[in-house]
Amino acid sequence: MHYLPASEDDKRAMLSAIGAARVDELFKDIPPEIRCEKGLDIPAGLSEQELKTRMAAMAARNTAPGGAPCFLGAGAYDHFSPAAVDHLLSRTEFYSSYTPYQPEMSQGTLQSIFEFQTMMADLTGMDVSNASLYDGASATAEAALMASRIRRGKKILVARSIHPAYREVLGTYLRCLDLDTEEVPFGRDGRMDLEALSSALCPDVCALLVGQPNFFGVVEDLPSIARSLEAVDKKPLLAVTVSEALSLAILNAPGSSGADIVAGDARSFGLPLGYGGPYLGFVTAKKAHIRQIPGRICGQTTDEEGRRGFVLTLTTREQHIRRERATSNICTNEGLCMLGATIYLALMGRRGLTELARLNLSKSEYLKEALAKRGITPLFDGPTFNEFAVKLPAGAASKAAEALAGAGMIGGYPLGGDYADLQDGYLVCATEQVRREDCDRFAEVLGGLK
């Protein structure tokens, strides 16, 4: 009970101030028939020492990247994070504080949100950014909803090459809202099939969602896609989804390729893989759409003495003001992850981030070649960043995981489960965390599969 400061004396004194005889009296509004008579059916409390031993044992029953080189991406990329990031996130002033509702007491958090917004807008080529959403998947769904509010259309085109989990979440979000989706197929280069796109475009379409890079790691030709949209009367919005945020440092900013909204996940910026969460959803957009953005936004203002300061702003978009007419139901978001990404980006700087992206490209190209030498060639011929799909011998994809685990590696992602037409497709990724010899070994094991 070392988190509970009240001693018996305290309790007595407080009860007497209240005018109650026992603590249980305070619960008298709970009718006896719904009282928990038997107590809770959970284990007795543990000392910190026992607890830590137990959790460490559970942690040890996992094999994490680091212990094993990781060739798995598929929406979660194994990047290195400098120690300074976690050190700063461990300051209680950051991690134990609440959403900055009282700005005079929260300028540390608010200024860092403003910095995050500025950097994310720059990276994505947009004018404004929010302060985070849950993850890339729900951010993509929110972007779709945002587009449907802006363009008031009922139909949303979705690249079939968007991350399958993102598409599933999108489905969950759109299902009940009377919004239709239609998938746009990819071509042999793994990019969006522009002809199919053109024929899917109809007046009711309010937006097109496309991944950059897409789920296959392929870099889409966004300008051509944007041109296809412009050909339509009431131009649908181009919403681009980015699940590997590091790519923003080496690919043309979506905003300068015609995107109206960018949604995605910025976890790659210094945050742990963490078995899937917490991640860092975000949405950026062109200025015209400010009032339809979901989530918190921080703005610059001044205090009574004219000094610069920051506040949460445009709150009339939000649930606590607008209730059911809010732009989103989001309240608690991913504040500390946002701060971590801000620190990471400040450490990397424009040169560092660009060089890191190039290093990822180089590693991935090396892996491509190492695999090619073993007869494993890319599934698509479109350009890629740090991830690409290959074609394995028939049946090999299902055996890969075990063979690689046996060799102390974390393998790629078999595409057959999500794409019935890509049964032997296998998605692999190489970041700065894998070494040349890891790639060689990986190619060797994979090449040995029959």
Ligand X SMILES: Cc1ncc(COP(=O)(O)O)c(C=O)c1O
Q: Does 108 bind another protein (CB under 8 A)?
A: yes
* Binding to another protein in span 250-289, by CB under 8 A: 250-253, 257, 265, 272-279
In terms of C-beta density within 10 A (0-12 exposed, 13-18 middle, 19 or more buried), how is residue 34 classed? exposed
Stretch that binds another protein, among 11-19, 199-207, 225-233, 390-398 (CB under 8 A): 11-19
Over the window 397 to 426, marking each residue x when it contacts another protein by CB under 8 A and - when it does not, the resulting string is: ----xx--x----xx-x-------------
User: Can you tell me which of 6, 18, 105, 331 binds ligand X, judged by CB under 6 A?
Assistant: 331
12 interacts with another protein by CB under 8 A? no
Interface with another protein (CB under 8 A), residue from 144, 159, 225, 311: 311
Phi-psi region of 395 (alpha: psi -120 to 50; beta: other; left: phi over 0): left
Say which residues have a Cβ less than 8 Å from residue 180's Cβ, sequence separation at least 6. 154, 155, 156, 174
Q: Determine the interface stretch with a second copy among 79-87, 221-229, 236-244, 312-320 (rule: CB under 8 A).
A: 79-87
Nearest CB to a second copy, comparing residues 23 and 51: 51
Residue 394 near which of another protein, a second copy, ligand X, none (CB within 5-8 Å, type-dependent) = none
Q: Which residues contact 189 (CB under 8 A, 6 or more apart)?
A: 218, 380, 381, 382
User: Does residue 332 belong to the site contacting ligand X (CB under 6 A)?
Assistant: yes
Residue range at the interface with another protein (CB under 8 A); choices 49-57, 228-236, 372-380, 442-450: 49-57
x-marked contacts with a second copy along 87-106 as a string, rule CB under 8 A: x--xx---------------
Q: What is the DSSP string of 184-249?
A: E-B-TTSSB-HHHHHHH--TTEEEEEEESS-TTSBPP-HHHHHHHHHTSSSPPEEEEEES-GGGGG
Is residue 59 within the footprint of a second copy (CB under 8 A)? no
- What character string, x for contact with another protein (CB under 8 A) and - otherwise, covers 143-182? --x-----------------x-xx-xx-xxx-xxxx----
CB 258 within 8 A of CB 235: no
CB nearer to a second copy: pick between 272 and 383: 272
Coil/strand/helix, residue 283: strand
In degrees and rounded to multiples of 5, residue 211 shows phi and psi of: -90, 145
Cis peptide before 278 (omega within 30 of 0): yes
Q: Which residues contact 239 (CB under 8 A, 6 or more apart)?
A: 140, 143, 144, 146, 147, 207, 208, 209, 210, 259, 260, 261, 262, 263
Residues 446 and 411: their CA atoms lie apart, in Å, by 9
Work out the burial of residue 235: count CB atoms within 10 Å of its CB; fewer than 13 is exposed, 13-18 middle, 19 or more buried. Answer: middle
**Segment interacting with a second copy, rule: CB under 8 A, options 44-52, 210-218, 285-293, 371-379:** 44-52
In 3D, which of 418, 68, 117, 79 has the Cα closest to residue 247?
A: 79
49 versus 102: smaller Cβ distance to a second copy: 49
Q: Which residue lies nearer to another protein by CB, 50 or 202?
A: 50
Contact mark string toward a second copy, 261..290, x via CB under 8 A: ------------------------------
Using CB under 8 A as the binding rule, whether residue 82 contacts a second copy is answered as yes
User: 285 has which bridge partners?
Assistant: 128, 261
As measured in angstroms, the least distance from the Cβ of 49 to a second copy is 4
d(CA 96, CA 375): 53
46 binds another protein per the rule CB under 8 A: yes
* Chain residues that interact with a second copy, rule: CB under 8 A: 2, 48-49, 52, 56, 66, 80, 82-83, 87, 90-91, 347, 432-433
* Chain residues that interact with ligand X, rule: CB under 6 A: 331-332
